[in-house]
């Protein structure tokens, strides 16, 4: 059974500035994906929205999938339903991401194992906003 990494790893991930693709980022300000993308930006990260229906979100170019992003991505933060996670994990491996993070309620054991086998750190069913507060960072 999948277990998230220890708090020390989560703390390290959240305290270093990273390039983060937010898969399923919404242009709607009231959606969690939009609010978390803004939070990640305020914490100093370079955020790249991923949503096939939009050309720009938060004033930033938006891409239809991970493969379309023209720069290196270190972390993939997923706001899609769990059934889409295997494809997102495969794309994260393909683009050379280092971290696959899935939001609350997004969980798939096979996708997690695929990402782990591909060398990624995997955090599932967690929210960065909650983890920032919980860890006091």
Q: Which residue shows structure tokens 């933060």?
A: 77
For residue range 124-137, what is the model confidence (pLDDT) as tens digits? Answer: 999 999 999 999 99
Q: Which pLDDT score is estimated for 61?
A: 98
In the chain, where the domains are located: 7-135
* Residue pLDDT, tens place only, 40-95: 999 999 999 999 999 999 999 999 999 999 999 999 999 999 999 999 999 999 99
Give me the helices (H) in the chain, please.
Answer: 7-15, 32-42, 85-95, 109-117, 128-135
* pLDDT in the model for residue 47: 98
DSSP 137: -
Does this model's pTM top 0.95? My answer is: yes
3-class DSSP state for residue 25? coil
Which CATH class, in words, describes the domain spanning 7-135?
Answer: alpha beta
For 94, residues 6+ apart whose C-beta sits below 8 A from its C-beta are 66, 67
Structure confidence by residue, pLDDT tens digits, 102-125? 999 999 999 999 999 999 999 999
């Amino acid at each position: 059974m999948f277990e998230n990494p220890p708090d020390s790893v989560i703390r390290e991930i959240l305290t270093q500035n990273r390039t983060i693709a937010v898969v399923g980022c919404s242009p709607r300000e009231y959606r969690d994906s939009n609010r978390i993308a803004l939070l990640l930006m305020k914490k100093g990260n370079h955020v790249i929205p991923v949503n096939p229906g939009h050309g720009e979100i938060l004033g930033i170019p938006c891409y239809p999938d991970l493969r379309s992003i023209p720069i290196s991505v270190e972390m993939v933060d997923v706001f899609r339903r769990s059934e889409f996670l295997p494809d997102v994990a495969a794309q994260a491996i393909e683009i050379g991401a280092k971290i696959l993070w899935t939001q609350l309620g997004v969980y798939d054991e096979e996708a997690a194992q695929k990402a782990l086998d591909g060398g990624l750190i995997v955090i599932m069913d967690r929210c960065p906003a909650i983890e920032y507060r919980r860890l006091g960072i």
